[in-house]
Homo-oligomer: A and B are copies of this chain.
Amino acid sequence: MGGLRLGLAQINCTVGDMGGNTAKIKHCIEQTEARGVDILCFPELAITGYPPEDLLFRPQFIKQNLDCVAQLARFSQLREQVLVVGFVDRKQQAIFNAAAVIHRGMVVGVYHKIILPNYGVFDEKRYFNWGSRLPIFNIQGIGVGVNICEDIWLREGPTQQLVQGGAQLIINISASPYHMGKWRERRQILSKQAQENKIWIAYNNLVGGQDELVFDGHGMIFDPQGEIIAGGRQFEEDLILADIAPAAAGLGYRWPTADNIIVPPSDNPLPKPPLDKCHPKMLHPEAEVYQALKLGLKDYVAKNGFSRVVIGLSGGIDSALTAVIARDALGRENLELVFMPSDYSSEASHRDARQLAHNLNAHFSVIPIQGLLVKYLESLQEPFAGLAPDVTEENLQARIRGNLLMALSNKHGWLVLATGNKSEMSVGYATLYGDMVGGFAVLKDVPKQLVYRLAEYRNQIKSGEIIPRNILEKEPTAELRHNQRDTDSLPAYDILDPIAEAYVEQDLDARQIQNLGYDKATVSRVIKMIDRSEYKRRQAPLVIKITPRAFGKDRRMPITNRFNHQ
């Protein structure tokens, strides 16, 4: 017996586009038939897209998704492949995050996810009931267990129970959101599960951007020694193929459960063409983050029906990197760059912005704002009488720029990209309705120091620096008053970033952060700034999550909050 040929279709689904997702699934089925694939697997909730959030409360949504499963069953009628497809199952009033096993026109079995994540960005207990059955599928004589995402992460959980039930191969379908280096964590856990349980594991992960999340694909197939025998690309659609030969692995085969479902072998098996070995290509850290941002932006733009974006260039590093990512994601023809100088803008900023636009070969325009600023100050003369200039006048400049970008957006249908980074967003060093304006904030989860590393990375991958060296080397400034520097208001970024990370991502308190070697007054100041700017973050545009805890649905802080973290 030659064993099973497994196929993992690592596809990019769109939330709510059940027709489109189902069409894509059918297309994969057609494409893989000639390659002798016995079992073809799709990601978690492939039919609805992930996460569907409160769309799950709409009975019509559940029904459409069930109709798609029925459609796929019909589509499989005259085919030999076994399909494993993520969908939403319904039993009476309850719904389940489910996997359908489909063969020759029939849904031969359904698995309901048991471990429902309800932390971080996840709200699965808001929607789903948990499953209680662990069917084992006898596919061409091999015991196959199916489970979903979180189910395979536990040392003692549904995976071990499936193994006890006789599973020799576990197919895990996932929608695991990206953060930096998470693939390493996944690989370690899965390899260990394969090795300890002496099973084959086929891990298929969703790919694509969905609001603040990026799913990074990177599916993997492990042998019972815990070795990767095949792997998919990160951040791209891919088909991962491997031949599973359990006889060679010397596994026993038991059938102790009542839940066995037997899928008979094909009467007329297709010949199996030989497979190339495919191994996942590991990206280095900056390349990985860069790809995540590119995919997150590209999918947000495309899936929401936009084509062009507009970015306000300041001459600084954040807007420069945002523009380069946008060019790489969307093409130069879909990029509009605007420089909006005031009297505080330096000649160097103008020159750097223009040089960047030139390097990107993108359309560049200049709209001066000084006249508007003067006009605002005239209008406000009476209510401001006798009061000294302060941050108000700085914010006004940022808000004039925000208004101009939104006017361009309204008139031309361009999406405005906000350019702020995570360091600024942490401490509230950003103007609400000003530089925070936008439909999407590409760098909002990228700390300033990583912004620099990404820019350097991008400059290195092709000959000729795309981001002008001066942008990388000048001291950060908002240019909202004369001789302003970020360090007038903030600690240096090599101090701010680790403090903010310790506080926001690791929940350390002031004393613990001081113990990392930071000055008490600085720690206290940064924490206060973070706490006090929650109201700004609540009205911020969507972010692309790249860290273990992003602002957004990953971190749910009250605005009204008198807790003294000091």
Contact = CB atoms under 8 A, between A and B. Distances in A.
Contacts of A18: 563
B61 A303 contact: no
Contacts of A58: 507, 509, 563, 565
A188 interface: no
Number of copies: 2
27 contacts: A15-B560, A16-B561, A52-B558, A53-B557, A55-B557, A55-B561, A59-B509, A60-B509, A61-B563, A126-B556, A211-B560, A300-B560, A304-B560, A365-B382, A372-B372, A375-B375, A380-B404, A380-B407, A383-B411, A390-B410, A390-B411, A392-B410, A396-B403, A396-B407, A406-B432, A433-B433, A538-B542
A551 to B, nearest CB: 11
Contacts of A367: 379-380, 382-383
B303 A560 contact: yes
Question: Which has the most chain B C-beta neighbours within 10 Å: A304, A365, A400, A433?
Answer: A433
A145 to B, nearest CB: 27
A369 interface: yes
Interface string A366-403: 01110110011011101110010011100110011011
A18 B557 CA distance: 16
Contacts of A391: 410
Nearest to A554: B54
Interface stretch (A29-37, A117-125, A460-468): A117-125
Given A58-B507, A407-B396, A507-B57, A558 B17 contact: no
Contacts of A158: none
A408 B560 CA distance: 22
Nearest to A394: B410
A280 interface: no
Contacts of A368: 379
Given A54-B555, A384-B411, A507-B58, A376 B403 contact: yes
Contacts of A407: 376, 380, 392, 395-396
A146 interface: no
Contacts of A14: 560, 562
A253 interface: no
A226 interface: no
A565 B535 contact: no
A541 interface: yes
Interface residues of A, number: 84
A16 to B, nearest CB: 3
A123 B122 CA distance: 11
A432 B437 CA distance: 9
A439 interface: yes
Q: Which of A52, A300, A372, A383 has the most CB of B within 10 A?
A: A383
A285 to B, nearest CB: 26
A470 interface: no
Given A53-B557, A407-B376, A407-B396, A563 B16 contact: yes
Interface in A457-486: none
Interface of A: 14-18, 20, 51-55, 57-61, 64, 118-119, 123, 125-126, 209-211, 299-300, 303-304, 365, 367-369, 371-372, 375-376, 378-380, 382-384, 387, 390-392, 395-396, 399-400, 402-404, 406-408, 410-412, 432-433, 437, 439, 507, 509, 535, 538-542, 553, 555-565
A55 to B, nearest CB: 6
Closest A-B pairs by Cβ, 9 of them: A16-B563, A17-B562, A392-B410, A60-B509, A16-B562, A16-B561, A433-B433, A392-B411, A399-B403
A198 B226 CA distance: 61
Contacts of A402: 399, 433
Contacts of A560: 14-15, 209-211, 299-300, 303-304
Nearest to A50: B558
